[in-house]
Structure 1
């Protein structure tokens, strides 16, 4: 059973989750030690081509996949045969296998690889080294790894950390800095930043500039600001939104900011598989408000095919404020 992301993870001073944090601390210490030991003992494999990692320091919800898609676009527009490699979280196939959006479903390869496959060749593999070698054998000249900062199996030419820069009063992207499960961190911040080459701070399209205090967290690391921009306006008329991502409340905020006539919003756990009961509930909510249904691109690819005609997909794209600077960094790392 999938669990929803605790909102108290992102409370900087931990008012509501104080007891849970205390009870879960011992498990966090075990998680931290195991992660550090796994990374320290690894011998990364060099597969002979540039490998660009798109990762984060927290458990889900930072916007890695839109950033990975934009990095792929920029590399391919520069004439580099860049391909993506993912673990294929949520899919049943072990790989290595190249994602075919005509043949594969999210249940086969995961929702994020299916999304990325619309713009570039994508491979999924539980064994990242085997997946990388398969991609190289099929002509890849650069690899973009989706969600691999804590996976040490491949030698990385460039490691980008994606940070959710949207902060509200009482919220902080890293909570109080606690490591999973007592907080959202995958590892202590200092350890994660020490292996990073640059940071991408992702903001909503209409958000104010990034919090200076947040930017100061990254010290001297190069930091790029990207905006999540809707690819299209929401349709007119009443809408019932839903999302099964790590932070579904961000989708609700974004739809309202885009002036959607949102009658209701239904959150689901991250990577939720939409069961008949879930779909019946959504259909009922839409009928109550005489509304259409709208969701994220990531959720839309997980819907049964017959439901995709009944739900509007609302895609977003990461656009960098300093695209030229990012292109230069990618070109230097792709030689």
Structure 2
């Protein structure tokens, strides 16, 4: 019951952040306070009162200026593969949402999502690149570099507002909601003003709307692959094969509707269930669901360790980065030599 209430509350706020209604205007005073605090914090680094730390290798930050999921994890995975193809040896740092422990620690494909966070585990499984997590991105990047001396570029999964970590490239992601009503938190979804400087913008838009007229803005394409069975990943089925079954699509991600839209675009008409972002899956939330098949995201699948439901199939997605964006990132990195 509590999870359903939380999901409804999140859905309500997300809807209100798309318009300038009564909720947004009531929150404007708090948004002004939030904006002032954020501006002062940025200024302390811009004026040199607080030091940005160079960890010795180039840093690429993949983040967002809005609250909620925008597709950062598949973007990080695709970027790691693109950098590897360009001749780099990338590593990844992340805060590890929900993870335990403040000290930097490595993540492997066998790591517990409860200990290090769901997204880092997924990145480690998909890329086999060195992945480290810690709340302090600077300490995390230093620890990764000390443990993997061959790493010559680090991708930061989120951390756009972690200004102490010096960076060479900033990629900002949006989804179809873009900047919503354009207000700062809590009146709107923005953590920082939309005018914030960045090297490039990626828009993850499954609804194929026109890209906004912003400089260096690219479309991010996410393509679903064959679903694999949670109990035996070697069992795979094209999504089209689920068309005649009673299907439930469930997602504990920042923007569950994007996952549902992907399945509909593949020809399915599933019942849907939005769970809170980073849902723990300590128990089976689908025990009472009368369906043949349950489709979940890869991010959710890394947390299904304590129990199994034979109806669950996992839908992977592949991010396709535009060649011009990859060229932009590689050019900036090659212009900066590791220390």
TM-score range, shorter chain: 0.7 to 0.9
Tell me whether 1:252 sits opposite 2:260 in the alignment: yes
Tell me whether 1:92 sits opposite 2:103 in the alignment: no
Aligned equivalent of 2:232 = none
Aligned equivalent of 2:184 = 179
Aligned equivalent of 1:319 = 320
Tell me whether 1:72 sits opposite 2:80 in the alignment: yes
Deviations 1:90-137 (A, max 9, x none): 1113231110221x2111111111111020221101111111111111
Does the CA-based 8 Å contact 1:85-1:124 persist in structure 2?
yes
Tell me, in whole angstroms, the C-alpha distance in 1 between the residues paired with 2:326 and 2:25.
44
Aligned equivalent of 2:328 = 329
Deviations 1:145-177 (A, max 9, x none): 11111110111100011111x3xxxxx422211
Tell me whether 1:202 sits opposite 2:197 in the alignment: no
Tell me whether 1:299 sits opposite 2:310 in the alignment: no
Deviations 1:26-66 (A, max 9, x none): 22222222222222223211111110010111002211111
User: Runs (4+) of structure 1 moved beyond 4 Å?
Assistant: 10-13
Alignment of 1:133-144 (within 5 A): 133-137=142-146, 138-139=148-149, 140-144=151-155
Tell me, in whole angstroms, the C-alpha distance in 2 between the residues paired with 1:80 and 1:203.
29
- TM-score normalized by structure 2? 0.84
Question: What is the Cα-based RMSD across aligned positions, in Å?
Answer: 2.1
Deviations 1:199-238 (A, max 9, x none): 111222xx43x425xx21x2xx312222111022325232
Q: Report SS of the residue matched to 1:282.
A: coil
Say if 1:259 and 1:27 are closer, same or farther in 2 by CA, change over 3 A.
same
TM superposition shift of 1:310: 4.6
Tell me, in whole angstroms, the C-alpha distance in 2 between the residues paired with 1:7 and 1:187.
22
Tell me, in whole angstroms, the C-alpha distance in 2 between the residues paired with 1:36 and 1:315.
38
Does the CA-based 8 Å contact 2:137-2:159 persist in structure 1?
no
Tell me, in whole angstroms, the C-alpha distance in 1 between the residues paired with 2:40 and 2:308.
45
Aligned equivalent of 1:147 = 158
Aligned equivalent of 2:44 = 41
Aligned equivalent of 1:268 = 275
- TM-score normalized by structure 1? 0.85
Deviations 1:283-330 (A, max 9, x none): 211xx23x111111111112234327552111111113x32x223212
Say if 1:12 and 1:304 are closer, same or farther in 2 by CA, change over 3 A.
closer
TM superposition shift of 1:12: 7.5
Aligned equivalent of 1:230 = 224
More deviation in 109-118 or 243-252?
243-252
Does the CA-based 8 Å contact 2:18-2:188 persist in structure 1?
no
TM superposition shift of 1:8: 5.3
Tell me whether 1:23 sits opposite 2:26 in the alignment: yes
TM superposition shift of 1:68: 1.0
Tell me whether 1:62 sits opposite 2:70 in the alignment: yes
Q: Report the count of equivalent residues.
A: 306
Say if 1:319 and 1:334 are closer, same or farther in 2 by CA, change over 3 A.
same
